[in-house]
A and B are shown apart, each in its own frame.
Chain A
Amino acid sequence: MTSTIPAYDPAVDAPAHHHPIYDYDSGPPVDRGKFAIWLFLATEVMFFTGLIGAYLVIRMGAPSWPDPGKLLAVDITAANTFLLIASSWMMVRALDAIQKGDKGGLTRWLGFTVIGGAVFVGVQAYEYTILLQEGYLPNRDLFWSTFYAMTGFHGIHVCAGVIWMFLIWLGAVRGKYDANNYVKVELAGLYWHFVDLVWVLLFTVVYLM
């Protein structure tokens, strides 16, 4: 009985990668997506700290400052804040649903979250329209410059979050996620809660103080 050794065929026998293959995971003991999103959120913290910090420095050094309650619609914005917090809560419910394997619950709660975020942006756009019609342009004075800078950048983040969650919702409608595959939903949720968290601070600092 003879055995023949097959000739070396690079297309078959060559290793696909030059990277060494370890028998252990060399990454951090946390999901890479979650690690990345928290790293991104850390940079976002610094971004908004720069904006809010500049506002505080300017305001603390100002001999006088307009009363925001007389210039801004605090009641409408308070209702809008309720809406954003509710939207954040709906996101938590959406993640809870898919972690339990409830695909219908994910689609439903995620849809409510997207609607909540879109309405928030709509109300902010309405507020901007009224203010601009009354002549309160960003270059009017430092109060309005800082107001538009902070709320405007936050609004852009909300828009990005609405688009992101809408895409996640489309995937949910197609049944893309289940109890073992929900990391993308969780990452979008973390971003959305962060946007909510920033607004809680902005509402206090800009509208109430």
Chain B
Amino acid sequence: MLRWVVWRDLILAWRRRADALSTLFFFVIVVSLFPLGIGPETELLRSIAPGVVWVAALLASMLSLGRLFANDYQDGTLEQLMMTPQPLYLIVLGKVVAQWLTSELPLVCIAPLLGVQFGLSNQTLGVLVVTLLLGTPVLSLIGSIGAALTLGLRSSSVLVSILVLPLYIPVLIFGAGAVEATIIGMPATSHLYLLSAVFVLALIFAPWATAAALKISME
């Protein structure tokens, strides 16, 4: 069942790949603007790199959240998805997995390349990728709650940002914190443990909350 949702959303994303690519380009451009604007001050760039990459990832994930349920809502397929004989949270989980694979995973893959612009060492780049791998699913999971709550509202994209960005703060702190710790030669493990805990919590509770929010939005 779950694979039908994922398969469907992956095909849809492939047929509309401009959407996913625009998220990726947004991320690349935002991150690249900082070295251009600040100039070749290696120390400064290195110290702001974790924050810049992470904030850009948060903003980029905002772009794809609007599409998570809105298209399905408009053409009536969301109703059909909600009337399938499996728990709604599994459907939500399937959609979030597909959204992560199409919109977040490309960011994770390109992040090391962008990190080079900031003069990050190989070890730091590795930690950056690990934090993004743990953190971006949380962004998708928490974001899905906001996307479901604002479904069918006007100017929902602005509302999603206001609702969801504050909830991203723990991910930002632990994610960027782990990378910063590595830069100054400290172990990043404590941050990574906390990030994993946030991931597990989001994985358990977010689909359930999103399902409840969808039911409310559809009434």
Binding partners A and B:
no
Residues on B facing A (Cβ under 8 Å): none
